[in-house]
Each structure stands twice: as structure tokens, then as C-alpha cells.
Structure 1
């Protein structure tokens, strides 16, 4: 059985490090540049695999030079890529500016990810073997909805990261078991800025929510119970690019192993805290022994 299936994006991250991000119309000089395999889907797959999960990836890379590099990174982390398609044309790219405070701004160009518009033969069969399906919004929404419905049909837990944030169709929310937005995404989805109030609003649409709050930790809420706060480990952030995806990947592993939320969240938070102390997306993600030692 494949414990975790990820249906989502693969991107090559083109990362520039600067003292501060440029204002509109301004050019600034960066101090270094890196190409790092990423994409929210691939990031969550790598994070889950390094955290000890049995993981498979559904998505697409391009026929360009980035495609083999993206495949290699996933496979080297132990992710099954048998159903990772190759689409004619460029792979997805993410153009990232990281400042000296560890903050980032990102422009995503979908490339091959835009071709993932629905499930294809074999995808639902793989999803049906899983215990958890991880979803994000960097591939076309019809494919995300197809995946959520397939998981729902087979009793597979669906975990949705609503990023980039956009209005979500009721059918997708109805097939979502756990929604994991950050505080900004939660505010966009609900129109409510205060995280606790946003969580209460989201619980009218989904049964369980975790809102990540960066250095302030996260909130967990289920229907019938008030939101509960969890602190984040105190660390000095170097690059927060992969924090959310690391958290979700590790959380999926912990839940798949049967840990209750009050133990799964601190463990996933330890993984995210390790990732922000290192540069890059997939390159920053910790392995199981590191997480166990830090949690």
C-alpha cells in the first residue's frame, strides 16, 4: 500500500538572494542565485518521503532540461514517480526572491503543470491504495477536484493546502477532510483576518482545519471544539520558502502512523523549523532522524 499520494505541481525554483526585495520599477543587486527543484506538490512529496512516508507523486514535468532534474530529485528522496508525466514544452518554474530576514516573494509560471487538467488511467487506482492524498492549487482546479472526489470515493483522507489561495468550489470542500491554509490564505478564503475567527468560519465548510502562523505556530480546530494553539520552535529563519510544505508532508506522515493531532502537530512543526534554518525548498527538508531528535 502506498501510504501517501501527492497530486500536484513540480517546479524548478530559480532563487535570488537579496538584502531586501525590489520595489516596483526598482532593480536591486542580488548576492547569489540557485536553481532548486520545488513546486508545492513535489515539495510535499519530498518532505513526506524524508520524514519516513511511503510516497508516490502524480503530476507532470516538461520535456526541457529541467524535467530530468525534477524527476531525479523526487526519486532520490524515495518518491515513486511512475505516474509523473512528461508534457511537451517547459517545466513549471518558480521565480523566488529571498531577503535577509528570510522572507520571500514568488512568481510561479505553471508550464507542464497546466497540462494536468484531470486524472488519467492509473491515477485513481493509485489514489485508492493510499491512506492520504495531499492536494494543493498549483495545477488546474478540475484535476484537484477529480483527485479529491476519487479519494472520497475510496475512503482516503484528503489534505488540501489552498495555495495559491482562490475561491474554492463547494464540491472540493465537501471532499476535503483537513484544510491547511496559512493565515493569509485563511483570510482570503473567509474574508476574516483574525485566525481564530477564520478557523471557525472554515469549519462551516470542512470538518478540520490547521492554520499555520509562521513563527507564531499554528491553530488546530475541529467541528464542535474551539481552536487550539500550538507554538513553533524558536529558531533563526534563513529561508521560509519550504516551511509550509515541509509541515504538511511531515503532518501527513505522523497522521498516517496514527499519532493524534496534539502529537502530530509538534512533530511536523519541528520538521518545518529545521527547514527554515537552511536555504532552498527541497534542499532544506529534514530526514526522519533529524525530526525525531528535534521534536
Structure 2
């Protein structure tokens, strides 16, 4: 059983389903509204837990109704929340998500996530030292992300840095990450590129190994030499929210099997996740993933 530590955000997703995206200034009648647990950190923690990993979450929620619900939901998914703090001074993070035609638009309000600290990361050092992989994203303060990456390198535990939402990152500490897992837009932003450079060239320029997601096309990955391609899996798309988080959670869980195997299983898990509604709602169990891969053997 893989041991995973996730350092990241915990949000309540406020999801609205509409027939199409409204234009600026337009009022549009929605089809459905629901609240579901989210946040890139929590999503990746749940994805890893459902795939059979022992998962510890390092994060923060507010002392409010959302915070209580979010923390309880993680525990019910089997995630250890010992290192999730409850803040009295701010509310829990939220993400307002509009879903239309199989795609989504998202606005995130960090709330308590803006107060996840490097001190919390250091407090989890013993767990990180014993972990098979650490996941961290960019919905928490940058100094906390940096502290996580540096600690992982110091104790020789692979840190998977998912740079979303993307921003330019210092190459010096970016090089400390074991893997960077952007999409094409995020990779360009991280490296300060205008966005007109071929993604494979950007992968070669990155100061650390890159696993780049390409939606339905699958993923490209590079440790040394030329980037390699893992094809995607054809499925009926219902909601793409959380697909990237599912990919990252699965990548961490199966990393012990080698990068090639981990990327293939991560692509399959992400494909399964888009067949159901909600960031966490579509995340597969290990049995579901193995059955799916078995049905696509040789594909």
C-alpha cells in the first residue's frame, strides 16, 4: 500500500450546471446547483485514497459549516486529517464552478488555504520521510510549496508538483521537484514562455522531469532524452472537473511501479473520472481502475 502525503487546498465546490456558458453581463437560467467537496489538494488526496493508498492531508479549513463538512468528508474517504488545521480568522476555501457542454469554468477563493504554512509542512516531516510520494499544488502560498519541494529533496522522497493555477516559478527550487505535472498552458507559464513554443521543447527546457497532461490525447512524459507519449482512453465525457487531480493522485500511487506504468494508469484513472459528475464524484476505486484497464488491454 502506497503512503502518500498531500500538501494543498481544501475547498467547497459550488457547482452550477448550465446549457452553455453565459457571456459577460448576461443572466442565464441554470439547470442544477450542488455543493461538493473539492480543492486540488483534497481532490488529489481522495483520488489516491480511493486507489488504495494510505493518505495524509496537510491543509486548512475555516471554522464554519463548510469546514466541518470538508474535514468530515476527508475522514470518510479514509484520509488522515491530523495535519489539517481549523482557522478562526478566515472561512473555508470555495470554488465556483460552471459546467456546460462537458467543460468547465472555475473561480477560486482561497480562504483558509492562503494560511497553509511551511511550519505545518515541517510538522509533518516524519510522515513525509516515510512517504512513497508527496503531492503539492499551487492553491496554497508559494513559500509553502517551496518548503514542501525542498523538504522532499532533503529526505529523498519524490515530490510531484502540480503547478495549478500556474505562475512563473524560480528554476533553482523548481529543480528540486522530482516531477512537474502541468498541462501545456501551465508549463509555458511556469517557464515564463509566451506560449508559442512547442510543448515538447518546453519539456526539454524544464529544470526537472515533466509529466504533461493533454486531455483526451493522454500525457507526455520525460525524465531523460526525448518526451514519450501515453495515449488517452476514449470515454463518454460528462464533467472534466477533477480529471487532472485524479491523474496526479493516481500518478503518486503507482509511481513505485515505474513512471511508464504510473502514467498509463493515471491516464486511465483520469478518463474514468470524467464519466461522472463532480471533481471527487467521478474518481475511481482501485477495482474500477483495474477492471477498466483489463477491458482496454492491448488498446
Partner of 1:198: 202
Q: Could you state the TM-score of these two structures normalised by the residue count of structure 2?
A: 0.93
Partners of 1:124 and 1:147 within 8 A in 2:
no
The 2-side partners of 1:198 and 1:182 are apart by 11
- For residue 175 of structure 2, what is the aligned residue in structure 1? 174
1:268 Cα shift? 1.2
Structure 1 equivalent of residue 112 of structure 2:
112
Distance in 1 between residues matched to 2:29 and 2:181, nearest whole Å = 35
Partner of 2:82: 82
User: In 2, are the aligned partners of 1:145 and 1:171 still within 8 Å (CA)?
Assistant: no
Please give the per-residue CA displacement for 1:169-199, whole angstroms capped at 9, x wherever unaligned.
2343122010000122112223244221221
Counterpart of 1:162?
Answer: 163
Aligned CA distance change for structure 1 residues 2 and 290 (closer, same or farther; 3 Å): closer
Unaligned regions of 5+ residues in structure 1, if any?
Answer: none
* Shift >6 Å, 4+ stretches: none
Q: How far apart are 1:150 and its partner, in Å?
A: 1.4
Q: State whether structure 2 residue 64 is matched by structure 1 residue 58.
A: no
User: What do you get for the CA RMSD once the two structures are aligned?
Assistant: 1.4
Distance in 2 (alpha carbons) for counterparts of 1:114 and 1:253: 27
Tell me the residue number matched to 2:21: 21
Q: Counterparts of 2:172 and 2:6 in 1: how far apart (Å)?
A: 19
Give how far 1:200 is off.
Answer: 1.5
Contact 1:181 1:210 in 2 (8 A): yes
In structure 2, the partner of 1:274 is 272
Range that drifts further, 134-143 or 261-270 = 261-270
- Deviation at residue 286 of structure 1 after TM alignment: 0.8
CA distance in 2, matches of 1:49, 1:126: 16
Counterpart residue number, 1:145: 146
Distance in 2 (CA, whole Å) between partners of 1:111 and 1:262 is 37
In structure 2, the residue corresponding to 1:282 is in which secondary structure? Answer: coil
Match of 2:222 in 1: 221
Q: Aligned pairs, how many?
A: 288
**Aligned position for 1:129:** 130
CA distance in 2, matches of 1:197, 1:27: 43
Q: What are the within-5 Å matches in structure 2 for residues 235-274 of structure 1?
A: 235-255=235-255, 258-274=256-272
> How far apart, in 2, do the equivalents of 1:186 and 1:154 lie?
26
Q: Secondary structure at the match of 1:81?
A: strand
- Aligned partner of residue 281 in structure 2, secondary structure: helix
